Amino acid sequence: MEPLTIFGLAVNIIQVVDFSTRLLREAHELHHSSTGQTAEHVELHQISASLSQMCDSLAYTQSDQRSRLTLVEHQITENAASAKAVAEDLIAVVKKLKINDESKRRRWRDFRQALATLWNKDEIDRLQKRLGELRNSLSANMITHISLVQREIVKDLNALRRECEQINVTRTDTVKLLLQEITKLSLNAFTKKHLEELEKVLGEIRNSQLKIGREQMILRSLRFKEMLDRYHAIPKAHTNTFSWIFKPSSFPACDARSKITFKEWLSSGTGIYWISGKPGSGKSTLMKYLYGCEETREYLRNWAVGGKLIVSASYFWIAGTEMQRSLRGLLQHLLFQVLRVCPDLIHLLFSERFSEDRIEDWSDDLSEDDEDESGSTDVWDISRLQTTFERLNRTTDNTKICFFIDGLDEYSGDGGDHLDLINLIRRLSEVSNVKLCVSSRRWTCFEDTFGQDSRHKLYLEDLTRDDILRFTRDKLNEAPQYDRLMQGQQSDFDLVSEITRKAQGVFLWVHLVVKNLRRILIDGEDDISILQQKLEEIPADLEEFFDKLLGSVDEAYKKQMALLFKVALLAPEPLSLAIYWFLDSKKPYQTCQYPLGVNILFIEDRMNRRLNGRYKGLLEAYGAPGGKTVAFLHRTVHDYLKKPDIQSRFLQTNLNIGWEACRAIVAAEPFSAEQTPFVKATFGPQVSYDSLRWLLDNGADPNRSTSEGTIFWIFLNDYGKDSTRDDEFLSMLLISGADFHKAAITSPAARNLPAIPNFCEPLSRLIAEDWKNYLTKLLHLWTKLLKEGRGIDPNHTTSSHSSWEVWLWYIIQWQTDHGLFEDICVRVMELSLECDANPHARVKFANDRVRRCNYTVTKIMNTFFTVESMDKLRIILDEAKQRWQEKYPKTLEHARGSRKGKQERDQGNSRNYPRCKKRR
């Protein structure tokens, strides 16, 4: 029962108790009424009748909701029943005291005197005692109830607070205030007035909690797990780098930096400001710097003129997931950030969704069960997101919004082209209270759209000479050997200036060159002429530099380098660093899986060293320890390696890429359970389920034989021993054609596998087709498992139930819900009974219409199937029972002949299964 309903009930009870007590204790002169009944009697009769009516309603509610009442709520409803009894007694007295025409002259000084004509003193005292006990009982119950309500609300508010803090929503302080308010509540005085005040305060807290909960529901649906990955992967700007963008007046007129108008655009400009430049010139680093810079917000506040200011940013990433390179991901990310900062907008944007008649449907749309692999929900498509942004533009008159969007050239999702993205940005920029700072390469489509106004654009490579000079000098000075080298220098050669000149504004080239030279210094080189020679050997062109780096990889590592780079190119999303560790291992799976003392942090540290050393840092790990993933150092590396001539020169390998990738993904999967709580809470489990599925869909063979066994054997051998293995991996491998029996024959751990039908839930999510096709594939799988090779035992019990019992439960579920797929259900029963499934098995089933019924195989057959199906099954069932009679005669004889044996069978064979969720 709702807590506030209990409060309302308690108010009614205490009102009757107080009134009845006052009647018995105080003197009330009884005046004649026109009907012969006193005014006091009339009032008492009305209140008592009203209470009786309320109690009648309560009695109906109580019987309807009895199973849902807590103990204290049940006790309060018992108090209501007691109050009803008192009221009925008083109503009966009123009726008896009604003055007829013959006795109009009779008067009593008070109600108690009148009552004394019908009851003796002991009866009146007993009524007073009943009222006192009722008050005390109700008071104690309400104190307990308030404590329980406080505890429940505090629990819910703490969960809201943690979620608000996790995604940095501005409601955190509001939730903290609500927590303070709820903890102060107490039942200081047990009166009608105080109960009503408590009810009001609780109602306000509940409404605030509901409001914030709905806001969180929307924010959760918009959020996806990779949302901040690209932001964290972009390197932080070096000290004082890019500070010139806010100080154009400090440079002479001949300096290109003096013409930068970005500060003015922030303070008073409109539309779009375009940041462009060469590949590797530092555009993303500048965008990250601008978004996080206090000066940016300071100048934007001038534009907002005292109104609400929202600054939001998103970063396209061509090497990332679908959400990181699509319009949907962009719009969800921007909308999430806007609503996170200004959650009040949620109720303006979705007011019709939060109406009483639609909130349940909307909640279902945004339920966690609909989450896709990215973590967000399918409720958000491009059309709905664009409609929401149009509403946002109409409801934010007093709010100014500035969007930073990085890497327009890295957009590649949604099946559209860059013109779709350009049109979206232009539409957003046409809103008076919205402006955008965007960055991209100098492609023609962007130049034609954003590059026509010289005041609202900049080319980065023309402006960063001093930044590169400072970065180079500072990084080289970090090596003690460089300082000693420069002190003894006899040459006029300036290494820092030469690097800056040769860089031509490409920060990525500088980063790689400085890293290379620092390694030479650390190795002990003390001759400046050698460094000069090394620098001269490095091509100024970035791609030629990549050629040189790949050519310098040790011959012993080139085969593995080709494998790692090809997997990185082919993977649909960045894979974990642990997967690359297994990819790089030349040892058999069994010996490299769990070396003594190895954990995820050890693996990440070791593999990170290999990426930087063996493979020249062109692949880079990012993310929190325990959840690091790998991506190319820069988009230019990705583009370079995709060229056919580069692949033929450096990425040729006789390794089966699909097999190796599957092997590594499955091998690394258990390490997802070792992530730190922080990583799990922030980023979710780092299991590359999507990547394995993608590889299998693109031709990787789970049954491919090697010296280590098949990929499926590897999985089974570990799955049977490790409870942390994910059922969805097994389901996916089976659906992809993995040979269960071929692997199981050589895998002793396979006998510990759980019952295959337990995978109905993950299998249904795997097969994106209708129910008929799903069940047909599941039946095919069940047939293979029963018939091929050794065959599994359908009666083998795992986790308190067998595969056969699970099948029976699902058959009842399907037939109870909709009566469809009878042919498949009948075939499952035929097949299972022919393969020695227990014909006497029982299951216990409960749903909204059938409550906790025991079903035997015979009862299932007679209840749910047509006559034709029953006739067909009856023959097979009789044959199965005969075989069981021959196999287990003593067991069956004992079961039939003993009531105790029947009870034991019921207890042993009847299983309670969780209610199955109805699929949409």
Q: What is the pLDDT of residues 281-305, one digit of tens each?
A: 999 999 999 999 999 999 999 999 9
pLDDT above 90: residue 70: no
- What is the spatial distance between Cα 693 and Cα 702, in angstroms, rounded to a whole number? 11
So what's the pLDDT on residue 230?
Answer: 92
Write a three-state SS string for 185-209: CCCCCCCHHHHHHHHHHHHHHHHHH
Encoded amino acid at 92, one letter: A
> Strand 271-277 and strand 434-441: pairing?
parallel
- What is the spatial distance between Cα 639 and Cα 506, in angstroms, rounded to a whole number? 16
Give 358's pLDDT tier (boundaries 50, 70, 90): very low
Cβ burial 145-182 (10 Å sphere, 16+ → b, else e) = bbeebbeebeebbeebbebbeebebebbebbeebbebb
Give how far Cα 555 sits from Cα of 552, 704, 846, Å: 9, 28, 66
Rounded to 10 degrees, what is the CA torsion of 883, 888, 891, 892? 20
DSSP state of 574: P
Give 362's pLDDT tier (boundaries 50, 70, 90): very low
Q: Where are the alpha helices (DSSP H) in 26-120?
A: 39-65, 71-97, 111-116
- What is the spatial distance between Cα 558 and Cα 550, in angstroms, rounded to a whole number? 9
Q: Which residue has the higher pLDDT, 114 or 405?
A: 405
Q: How many CB atoms lie within 10 A of CB 820?
A: 13
So what's the pLDDT on residue 884?
Answer: 86
So what's the pLDDT on residue 615?
Answer: 94
> What is the per-residue pLDDT across 513-553, written as a single tens digit (0 to 9) for each?
999 999 888 888 778 888 889 999 999 999 999 999 999 99
Mean pLDDT (whole number) for 574-589: 82
Lowest mean pLDDT among 22-36, 426-440, 497-511, 690-704: 22-36
- What is the spatial distance between Cα 324 and Cα 227, in angstroms, rounded to a whole number? 7
Q: Which contacts (CB < 8 Å, 24+ apart) does range 602-606 have?
A: 603/577, 603/578, 603/671, 604/577, 604/578, 604/628, 606/581
- What is the spatial distance between Cα 317 and Cα 323, in angstroms, rounded to a whole number? 9
> What is the per-residue pLDDT across 713-749, written as a single tens digit (0 to 9) for each?
666 665 544 545 555 666 667 666 676 655 655 555 4
So what's the pLDDT on residue 290?
Answer: 98
Work out the mean pLDDT of the chain and round it to a whole number: 76
So what's the pLDDT on residue 914?
Answer: 35
So what's the pLDDT on residue 187?
Answer: 60
Give 2's pLDDT tier (boundaries 50, 70, 90): low
Nearest to 322 by CA among 376, 367, 265, 368: 376
Lowest mean pLDDT among 557-566, 601-610, 822-831: 822-831
Show the tokens assigned to 88: 């009925």
Mean pLDDT (whole number) for 56-84: 65
> What is the per-residue pLDDT across 187-216, written as a single tens digit (0 to 9) for each?
666 677 777 777 777 778 888 888 888 888
Number of Cα atoms under 13 Å in the Cβ half of residue 856: 10
Q: Where are the alpha helices (DSSP H) in 614-726?
A: 635-641, 644-650, 657-668, 677-683, 689-697, 711-719
> Strand 399-406 and strand 308-315: pairing?
parallel
Q: Which residue has the higher pLDDT, 847 or 569?
A: 569
Mean pLDDT (whole number) for 563-589: 84
Rounded to 10 degrees, what is the CA torsion of 37, 39, 42, 44? -120
> What is the per-residue pLDDT across 756-781, written as a single tens digit (0 to 9) for each?
444 444 444 433 345 566 667 667 76
Percent of the chain exceeding pLDDT 70 equals 68
- What is the spatial distance between Cα 700 and Cα 413, in angstroms, rounded to a whole number? 24
- Chain-centroid distance, C-alpha 702: 30
Number of Cα atoms under 13 Å in the Cβ half of residue 403: 29
Query: Is-contact 332 380, C-beta < 8 A?
Result: yes
* pTM given for the model: 0.67
- Residue 245 buriedness (CB in 10 A; 0-12 / 13-18 / 19+): buried
- What is the spatial distance between Cα 76 and Cα 16, in angstroms, rounded to a whole number? 14
pLDDT above 80: residue 116: no
Query: Is-contact 326 411, C-beta < 8 A?
Result: yes
**Residue 142 phi, psi dihedral angles, 5° rounding:** -70, -35
> What is the per-residue pLDDT across 379-426, written as a single tens digit (0 to 9) for each?
788 889 998 998 887 777 788 999 999 999 999 876 668 999 999 999
- What is the spatial distance between Cα 542 and Cα 503, in angstroms, rounded to a whole number? 9
Query: Is-contact 297 311, C-beta < 8 A?
Result: yes
Mean pLDDT (whole number) for 548-563: 93
> What is the per-residue pLDDT across 13-53, written as a single tens digit (0 to 9) for each?
877 787 777 767 654 444 444 444 444 444 445 545 665 66
Taking each helix axis from N to C terminus, what angle separates 3-25 and 71-97, rounded to the nearest 10 degrees? Answer: 40
Query: Is-contact 583 665, C-beta < 8 A?
Result: no
Lowest mean pLDDT among 187-201, 218-232, 245-259, 334-348: 187-201
Q: What is the residue whose two structure tokens read 């965007």?
A: 438
pLDDT above 80: residue 454: yes
So what's the pLDDT on residue 258?
Answer: 96
Q: Which residue has the higher pLDDT, 799 or 154?
A: 154
Query: Is-contact 296 304, C-beta < 8 A?
Result: no
> What is the per-residue pLDDT across 129-186, written as a single tens digit (0 to 9) for each?
888 888 888 888 887 877 777 788 888 888 778 777 777 777 777 777 877 777 776 6
The 3-state DSSP class for residue 343 equals: coil
Q: Which H/E stretch holds residue 33?
A: none
Q: Where are the beta strands (DSSP E) in 516-666?
A: 619-622, 629-632
Strand partners, 181: none
Show the tokens assigned to 784: 């293979």
Domain spans, the chain? 3-184, 229-462, 465-537, 541-700, 793-920
Nearest to 475 by CA among 444, 510, 429, 504: 510
Nearest to 638 by CA among 571, 694, 568, 541: 568
Mean pLDDT (whole number) for 235-246: 96
Query: Is-contact 288 189, C-beta < 8 A?
Result: no
Domain 229-462 coded CATH 3.30.1380: no
- What is the spatial distance between Cα 7 and Cα 814, in angstroms, rounded to a whole number? 42
The 3-state DSSP class for residue 687 equals: coil
Write a three-state SS string for 401-437: EEEEEECHHHCCCCCCCHHHHHHHHHHHHCCCCEEEE
So what's the pLDDT on residue 105?
Answer: 46
- Chain-centroid distance, C-alpha 381: 18
* DSSP line for 375-410: SSBTT--HHHHHHHHHHHHHS-TTEEEEEEEE-GGG
